Structure 1
Amino acid sequence: MTKPKVLISDKMDPNAARIFEERGCDVDVITGETPEELKARIGEYDGLAIRSSTKVTPEILEAATNLKVIGRAGIGVDNVDIPKASSHGVVVMNTPFGNSITTAEHAIAMMLTLARQIPEANRRTQAGEWPKKDFMGVEVTGKTLGLIGSGNIGSIVASRAQGLRMKVIAYDPFLTPERAMELGVEKVDLGKLLERADFITLHTPLTDETRNILSRERLEAAKPGVRIVNCARGGLIDEAALKDLLESGHIAGAALDVFAEEPATDNPLFGTKNFICTPHLGASTTEAQVNVALQVAEQMADYLVSGGVTNALNVPSLSAEEAPRLKPYISLAEKLGSLVGQLEGPDVNAITIEVSGAASELNLKPITAAVLAGMMRSWSDSINMVNAPILAKERGLDVREVRHAKEGDYHTLVRIIATTPERRREVAGSLFGDSQMRLVEIAGTRIETDLEGHMIYIVNEDNPGFIGRLGSVLGEAGVNIGNFHLGRRLPDKHKGGDAVLMLTLDQAPSKEVQDAVCALEGVKKVRALSF
């Protein structure tokens, strides 16, 4: 088996390459390439490990014909075109926990630095002055800290601030009352936070909803004398408004580690009174750089070797422990989806994935993605579990998931119900011995068969002599039957009704063979299948 091949294109801890190799990947470390050089090289690789320097553009992704995963050693993925990666079926991962402590500590350091005006006091003291009377700081003890965002980093900042005897309030739409109680913070809306906070720190990603979350209007509504710290992302604060309000004294101080445009070599805020800044150092500690490099290598190797998905931004997470248990279900779901796609074509406008018994205890998102990938791959090339849900949404496909904990006739079952403008199609499959995949029902008919290789699906009137006539047609055409499976839909137990046949063939049936089968008396439907 060929080993997955990984390219590390940005400088990171050398132990990352060692982890890739130990976990069964070949790895090249080639840093500092131009976009043109990376574009020429990327087609060789299954994985791409980056930091912030490499820009994964649509042009790079078009050339990355074998790429399966991009791993960002760090939190921010502004340098990756995630929608384009998703459309190409490439998983995008980051490492949100590797530098959380480092970034939180930097925010606390910036807050304390603001409170005591340390940079300016340092500069003037080293210039030979002794400006003691010009620097009257403020204590943080007893002050109110307002968190905008209370996720991984925000929660650490809250803990550190509480250790400084600060009162912490938080604005975060995703913060539950239970989580707020666990963190020891008071949940408030943004307006109340601005009214009450003596210090504000931001800990949110940059999205359409959070861009300029501290706009001019909101900064003007903040408590007079507030001090603001941003070690999250540039673009969260209206920088022009911040400068004006610092100069007017409404805002007593601001400390930024990030800017709307980086590198920020010429920003209007530079030189403003009571403004301090650092060059995006939030994650810049030795410990953090090692942590994120090792973490991204572990995550990418898990995905490439065993299928585990951790900290992915465009697909559901699937732990390395879950992956072996889910693997046969994903294969079953993909084959059932493929069966539906081949039988119904692109006319499907709604699909329901029902699981029962043991399957109901599993992570359903990967199973659903596998059904969609199998179904849509029969209509279009380059479909996988990453881009199938996105393409299904773009098509307006109505996708539903249903769980039934109770077992039926099978200890575990995956049922697909597909609807077209003309009809409703149901297929169901199960696992035997937790690994052997079987189709167990199609079109309301019990039938047990593997879905593999070349097959032909036939619906015919259940009359004597049909199987012999079918065998003759296939034999005369030189088509050998590998397996033969029959199910009957009878109005009573003795006669009439339809029969459903699923035959595994040693070769794909030609159009002439299919036409000959279709011409047999009593045949209602014939469809060649391939798995």
Structure 2
Amino acid sequence: MPKVLISDKLSPAAVQIFKDRGIEADVKTGLAPDELKAIIGQYDGLAIRSNTKVTADILAAAGNLKVVGRAGIGVDNVDVPAATARGVVVMNTPFGNSVTTAEHAIAMMFALARDIPQANASTHAGKWEKSKFMGVELTGKTLGIIGCGNIGAIVADRALGLRMKVVAYDPFLSAERAKDLTIEKVDLDTLFARADFITLHTPLTEATKNIISADAIAKMKKGVRIINCARGGLLVEEDLKAAIESGQVAGAALDVFKAEPAKENILFGNEHVVCTPHLGASTSEAQENVALQVAEQMADYLLTGAVVNALNMPSVSAEDAPKLRPYMKLAGQLGSFAGQLTENALKAVSIEYVGVVAGLNTKPLTAIILEGLLKPMVETVNMVNAPVIAKDRNIDVSETKNAREGDYHTLIRVTVTTEVRSRSVAGTLFGGDKPRVVEIKGIPIEAELGEHVLYVTNQDKPGFIGALGSLLGQHGVNIATFHLGRAEAGGDAILLTQVDQPLTDVILEEVRALPQVVQAKALSF
């Protein structure tokens, strides 16, 4: 039974999800780093919010850990590279609080347009300053959305309902998607020039850092209003302050800040700035949603291998997982086969997906092939860190897909290039779920790979099969299956035989000493 540690407060319903699915869940919140480090080795999964810091030190002590689930979007408290290096999947829940965050942006826009916080404080103070708080209507105004992903699209929908005009800048927004949303896709300078309100809904990356700066503000309409409920580093706070003081920007509504928690900030106290303490996801519905979502995702991964919303490996949906499962076994065997036969430094790996498999999500299959390939060289490799290890070792990895069927309705071929040679191995599925090797080094062969396999390349000459069978019999080695393939009569040949026990070095040396043998290796799967 998998075990999960819940180290930050989650809904009791999330805890129940783990238990209902047969996963043991321990709730231990408020742990000090040393306390977490002392117990983390017992668990397969770790469910957190923002309080728990999953550092490289913690991960080094987490010998059994397979997945970290963050109930929420941000993973600033998780050392994702360290988790990847140790083969730990890191998941978040990017959509559980989308509606809540979008609604907060709309609420902030209303507050900014009508001076609601300032008017509220004034009225509570016993003043009646009706003429002081002259706002603006949203109807007919142009809203510029920077980042039109899930949250941005919801904001656009709500804004259209308010009879606003919506323009959006997002390099990943297609013309078709913009048309579906009934908004206009524009470049950034056009958005700056046309928008009466600008709202930010983009992640913080090198490309988006300080996207609202003095230069950007100079391109905006005079009197523009800016809303940021995304990430603090998206705007330069000093430049925004100067623009508000000059009148270029009429006001700003900020839920996020460059440094958080923001106990002090140069924008605090400005009557034209509305501030909230990172409340975008702070509704009871959103907190419940992300908790339930992370529990379901972690349970799916631990029980079925389905990967959803992972930051460091390809996604495998619950629907795809059953379809991919037999291919994952085949991919693992092919990668392992190639890896166990590789004796020189790897330079490149080429993976071909042909027929039915070409139409599937092949990224997880490639990761598993690399895991099998690298296993003889890297003890701690798994499908999460295998692509990173390959990259670090300057191994060129390429994929090709061809949906057109060849000799088999579905086929995976792995070609490995070393400093000395290239060799390939290909496999398919029999009966839809039974992996079979069907080609080695271009030589046709049909073989099932068992736990213990003897691989031999030899010259195709009479007497070899009898000599090998006699040798194995003399050592009490029982043959389970026997598969042969050759390029042409009298040429190169390959033999794969399953045996019922591991082959000793003594037996292998005797096999290699047979006259026709070119190479002999014991493989395990």
Q: Show the counterpart of 2:105.
A: 107
CA distance in 1, matches of 2:94, 2:60: 27
CA distance in 2, matches of 1:233, 1:392: 33
| Aligned counterpart for 1:133 among listed residues 131, 142, 145 | 131
Q: Deviations over 1:192-243 (max 9, x none)?
A: 2112211110001111221111123222332221111111112111112212
Unaligned runs of 5+ in 1: none
Retained in 2: the 8 A contact 1:345–1:378? no
1:482 lines up with 2:489 in the alignment: no
| Aligned counterpart for 2:523 among listed residues 500, 505, 529 | 529
CA distance in 2, matches of 1:156, 1:523: 68
Q: Which secondary structure does the structure 2 equivalent of 1:61 belong to?
A: helix
CA distance in 2, matches of 1:504, 1:372: 24
CA distance in 2, matches of 1:158, 1:520: 75
Q: Which secondary structure does the structure 2 equivalent of 1:349 belong to?
A: strand
Retained in 2: the 8 A contact 1:13–1:294? yes
Q: Which secondary structure does the structure 1 equivalent of 2:380 belong to?
A: coil
Retained in 2: the 8 A contact 1:440–1:446? yes
Retained in 2: the 8 A contact 1:247–1:273? no
| Aligned counterpart for 1:308 among listed residues 306, 309, 313 | 306
Question: Which has the higher mean CA deviation after the structures are superposed, 500-509 or 277-286?
Answer: 500-509
AA of the residue aligned to 2:499: L
For the aligned residues, what is the CA RMSD? Answer: 1.5
Give the alignment of 1:68-79 within 5 angstroms: 68-79=66-77
Q: Show the counterpart of 2:119.
A: 121
Question: Which has the higher mean CA deviation after the structures are superposed, 236-245 or 500-509?
Answer: 500-509
Q: Show the counterpart of 1:204.
A: 202
Q: Show the counterpart of 1:520.
A: 514
Retained in 2: the 8 A contact 1:415–1:429? yes
AA of the residue aligned to 1:371: I
Retained in 2: the 8 A contact 1:455–1:503? yes
1:370 lines up with 2:368 in the alignment: yes
CA distance in 2, matches of 1:522, 1:346: 24
CA distance in 1, matches of 2:344, 2:451: 22
| Aligned counterpart for 2:419 among listed residues 418, 421, 425 | 421
AA of the residue aligned to 2:324: L
Q: Which secondary structure does the structure 2 equivalent of 1:129 belong to?
A: coil
Compared CA separation, residues 394 and 346, structure 1 to 2 (3 A): farther
Unaligned runs of 5+ in 2: none
Q: How many residues align?
A: 525
Q: Which secondary structure does the structure 2 equivalent of 1:502 belong to?
A: strand
Retained in 2: the 8 A contact 1:345–1:379? no
Q: Deviations over 1:338-393 (max 9, x none)?
A: 11111124523222222223222221111111111111112111111111112222
Q: Show the counterpart of 1:500.
A: 494
Question: Which has the higher mean CA deviation after the structures are superposed, 357-366 or 293-302?
Answer: 357-366
Q: Show the counterpart of 1:444.
A: 442
Give the alignment of 1:208-357 within 5 angstroms: 208-345=206-343, 347-357=345-355
AA of the residue aligned to 2:502: A
Q: Deviations over 1:264-320 (max 9, x none)?
A: 112221112311111111111111111111111111111111111111122111111
AA of the residue aligned to 2:188: L
Give the TM-score, by structure 2 length: 0.97
CA distance in 2, matches of 1:346, 1:256: 57
AA of the residue aligned to 1:186: E
CA distance in 1, matches of 2:424, 2:105: 56
Q: Show the counterpart of 1:9.
A: 7
Retained in 1: the 8 A contact 2:5–2:45? yes
Q: Which secondary structure does the structure 2 equivalent of 1:48 belong to?
A: strand
Question: Which has the higher mean CA deviation after the structures are superposed, 118-127 or 275-284?
Answer: 118-127
CA drift at 1:477: 4.0
Question: Which has the higher mean CA deviation after the structures are superposed, 323-332 or 412-421?
Answer: 412-421
CA distance in 2, matches of 1:31, 1:241: 40
Q: Show the counterpart of 2:504.
A: 510
AA of the residue aligned to 2:501: Q
Retained in 1: the 8 A contact 2:344–2:420? no
AA of the residue aligned to 2:108: M
Q: Deviations over 1:384-442 (max 9, x none)?
A: 11111122222222222222223222232211122223222111111111111111111
CA drift at 1:136: 1.2
CA drift at 1:467: 2.3
CA distance in 2, matches of 1:464, 1:397: 41
AA of the residue aligned to 1:506: D
CA distance in 2, matches of 1:346, 1:283: 52
Q: Show the counterpart of 1:360.
A: 358
Q: Show the counterpart of 2:63.
A: 65
CA distance in 2, matches of 1:460, 1:191: 69
AA of the residue aligned to 2:131: K
Q: Show the counterpart of 2:395.
A: 397
CA drift at 1:47: 1.0
Identity of aligned residues (%): 62
CA drift at 1:118: 1.2
Q: Which secondary structure does the structure 2 equivalent of 1:133 belong to?
A: coil
CA distance in 2, matches of 1:198, 1:468: 87
Q: Deviations over 1:78-108 (max 9, x none)?
A: 1112122111111111111111111111001
Give the TM-score, by structure 1 length: 0.96
AA of the residue aligned to 2:163: R
CA distance in 1, matches of 2:136, 2:439: 74
CA distance in 2, matches of 1:348, 1:450: 26
CA distance in 1, matches of 2:495, 2:122: 90
AA of the residue aligned to 1:438: R
